[in-house]
Amino acid sequence: MTSEVMRQILDETEARRSELPSLATPIRVADPRDLPDRARALRSRGISPIIAEIKPRILKRTLSPEEVATIARRYEADGASGISVLTQPTYFLGSPENARVARGASSLPILRKDFILDERQLDEVESDLVLLIAALASPLEGLVEAALSRGLEPLVEVHTEAELDHALKTEARIVGINNRDLSTLKVSLDTFEGLGPLAKSSGLFVVAESGIETRRDVLRMEEAGADALLVGTSLMEEPGLLRVLSGAASP
């Protein structure tokens, strides 16, 4: 993905705002599933909590509901702490329906991962968590409050110390530190090593995102304060990798 593609995605997302219905009755998530609780339970058994992602673009095609359900069940069977579902339709080939299907097929917490720019997008599908990108979501405080009022747990994604400071001023209790710079799309695990300890010391539940491909990467992120790790590309390419990354199986 290039920065130009990122701009196109944001332009498309902005354009879709005009098609969103006016706010009626907001959704209210029934029986929300708690990601930190699930992660703590796994860690008590010596397993690294992995949020496994359903990322259709890696397969270069959209997924049928049956395929989404199968992947979600496999992730749960392999010990994931949660499931991230990309719902952006054009570049990532996802859909809100994929999040709905994954939540129905699994008992794990479901994170909806998209470019949320408008409160009305929160009502497109029921999930347990929703990604809010600090660099894009505006006003961030308002979107965090809107998510919480629906029973959605906001996972605020940051890449810089300034964005982390902004996240700390909201009511969010989960922060994701993205090792990918969205302005250049370069990935460096050094990003989490710089910000992870700061986020951890603030009492947040901290998720490491992007660039995690090996068990060594997982341990490196945990050493810097990661409570959970979000992994997408490598799991879609190699489904059996989840148990290796989490430490539940030998490489």
Q: Which residue is catalytic, options 81, 178, 179, 234?
A: 178
- Annotated active-site residue in 48, 53, 153, 234: 53
Q: Is 213 a catalytic residue?
A: no
Catalytic choice (209, 222, 234, 246): 209
**Annotated catalytic, 210?**
yes
Identified catalytic residue from 48, 55, 179, 246? 55
The one catalytic residue in 48, 81, 106, 210 is: 210
Angle between helices 215-223 and 190-201 (to 10 degrees): 40
Q: Using an 8 Å Cβ cutoff, are 168 and 144 in contact?
A: no
Question: Is 178 in the active site?
Answer: yes
Annotated catalytic residue, options 157, 163, 193, 222: 157
- How many angstroms separate the CA atoms of 154 and 147, rounded? 6
The answer to whether the beta carbons of residues 111 and 132 sit under 8 Å apart is no
Residue 200 annotated in active site: no
> Quick check: is 97 catalytic?
no
Query: Would residue 161 show up in a list of annotated catalytic residues for this protein?
Result: no
Q: Specify whether 19 is catalytic.
A: no
Q: Where are the beta strands (DSSP E) in the chain?
A: 50-54, 82-86, 110-113, 129-133, 153-158, 174-178, 205-209, 228-231
Give the span between the Cα atoms of 18 and 63, in whole angstroms: 27
Which of 113, 126, 153, 163 does the annotation list as catalytic? 113
Residues with catalytic roles: 53, 55, 113, 157, 178, 209-210
